[in-house]
Structure 1
Amino acid sequence: MIMKQTINDKTIKELEEIFLNLGFQKFRVKQVFRQIHVNKINDFSKMTDLSKDMREKLDQIFYFPKIKILKEFKSNLDKTKKYLFELDDKNIIEAVFMEYNNRNTICISSQVGCKMGCKFCASTKNGLERSLLASEIIEEIYLLERENSDINNIVVMGIGEPLDNFSNIEKFIKIITDDNGRNLSHRAITISTVGLVDKIYKLADLGYDINLAVSLHYAFDKKRMEYMPSAKKYKIKDIVKACDYYFEKTKRRISYEYVVIDGVNNLKEDIDKLEKLFKGKNIHINLIPLNPIEEFKYSKTKSNVMDQFQKKLSTRGLNATIRRSMGSDIDASCGQLRNNYAR
């Protein structure tokens, strides 16, 4: 019995080797690749430019991962949609589709759950179930496009730590940017990380000029370790050093994500330390109001607190802005929709 394998995570080179071994003509490789990654077809029977015999052979050897929409939440304020997706194994992930100024951005998950343990994040509540395969990440994107319209930007900032799933993230980037298929620009992709130092260096050395967003959230290691267990292994100075290397290799400005928790990480000492860390560097500090979850005692950060902190950072010569809130009427912390559904 032939063990079926996924097809939408095969590179042109991998597909060519398999097709030639099957006796298919070489030109069929790009033909099928385009059907999958340009037309976003995930059913061989719909590839009508192929012979029936070839479609049947492909169906015997390959399969497409199936992702089911469990729930869709539509904002009444803007064109944001949030989704709960069910995978083949019944695990659940989240994704978001955002339309702003005629540009479409999606926020996708890279894992089922997360093991990083950040106390203010709902995604990590039940730990890590498993990492998503490259085929699932790609299908997650194409499902969002089929349901909506083509996207301009991908942000890998949903459930999971992308750099903890490095091989599948690398594979998905290689395929989604292939000019024989979806041909998305590297610069249209943003990868988020809590700061896995070794993986930041590894990502830089791939030579992709993708955007990097680092979940910093605290200016001091002591505070960071209290709320982010990964900080026990990765010190801030080492993260910044790795990010400086990333900038040197890619020329892409680093974005440091900073969830503002009033009275915890927006004090004068925090401002002083952030100035010391970043003044003179080509970086951006993305300020995010805390979105409370049951397990974290702090309340949502008020807009005046956000404004004051942003102004204080700006007067120190730091490039800091407050993240625009999309779909705030259906807002939930990353992972909260999944957790609520699982109850």
Structure 2
Amino acid sequence: MLLKTFGWSFAVTAIGLVAAVFYGGWTGFGVVAILSILEISLSFDNAVVNAGILKKMNAFWQKIFLTVGVLIAVFGMRLVFPVVIVAISAQLNPIDAVDLALTDKDQYQQYVTDAHPAIAAFGGMFLLMIFLDFIFEDRDIKWLAWLERPLAKLGKVDMLSVCIALIVLLISSMTFAAHAHQHGGTHVDKAETVLLAGIAGLITYLAVGGLSSYFEDKLEEEEEREHEAEEQAKRSGKQQSAVLLAGKAAFFMFLYLEVLDASFSFDGVIGAFAITNDIVLMALGLGIGAMYVRSLTVYLVRQGTLDDYVYLEHGAHYAIGALAVILLVTIQYEINEVITGLVGVVLIAASFWSSVRRNKRLAEAEGSTEGSGKAEVSSGV
């Protein structure tokens, strides 16, 4: 079961890591490994959401999402999108950006370094909004309750996350952007660039969130109509046109999943810029991670166990928040790639360990309850 589900992911991992060694030596191997782990950890909640929706779809639409969808996710978002970001930021033709990245790494590195303040501001705001919207939502399950409980109460204030993000952007433009790091170790004033790029990142997040909400509403409408049609068919004793309704609902599910998948892909791609500017290593690492997300989605659908490690989603979002802060700091200061990657890995590992301990406590409590129940029965007899 495990090999059947994760077989392609294992194969892609082996090929990707070998390619990383040939391309960038053991440093490249380490960067690709960290990027893969980061992508998997950041997209775990994506796999959970995908699995929750996919299990409602028939086998045909599941196959469409897991084939066409993964092609879009891997080749579209993980390979093309990083090049587009660099091309726009450095004002280059996308083809020229790819050519430079492969043939003249020094020149490409200069373009990327000079464009980094804009990339960092855009990505920092996008990631920060993901983190803030998560942390301000009142959730039944809380990992760091002492922190999340009061923040959930603050989250009842409308548009609080947007206000905080804009304040952070303003402070960043007045501090880090005033002495932005450029190629050659020089520092220039990039306040205006950081402000514009940060606002663009905020708008992008709101637009993607709006589209996701739109498709989610459409999906709910289709499900309600299908339920009403089923009830009406039962009352009249007629055969209903279930295929058409199921097809429309599944189509909206597919569109919703694609938009949602794209929105989750943003954090991995943007976060990768905090670790490396090399698009080859970035593509290898994110591609491996995307394959595991696909396999994990299939595994969760087949096994039906989505809630075993309840704190992983929290850990992933804390990692997103940490990456957002790191990106904004790197506008002025350089931070080692390994340190950046390990921050996310440590947070994910901590949330995983907390989940394991929680499951153990629940199992022990359930065992003790059953034991006391049996003792009461035997004593009564």
Alignment TM-score > 0.5, same fold: no
Kindly indicate which of the two structures has a greater share of residues assigned to strand. Answer: 1
Question: Which structure would you say has the larger Rg?
Answer: 2
TM-score, with length taken from structure 1: 0.23
TM-score in terms of structure 2 length:
0.21
| Higher relative contact order, chain-length normalized (CA < 8 Å, sep 6+) | 2
Which protein has the bigger helix share?
A: 2
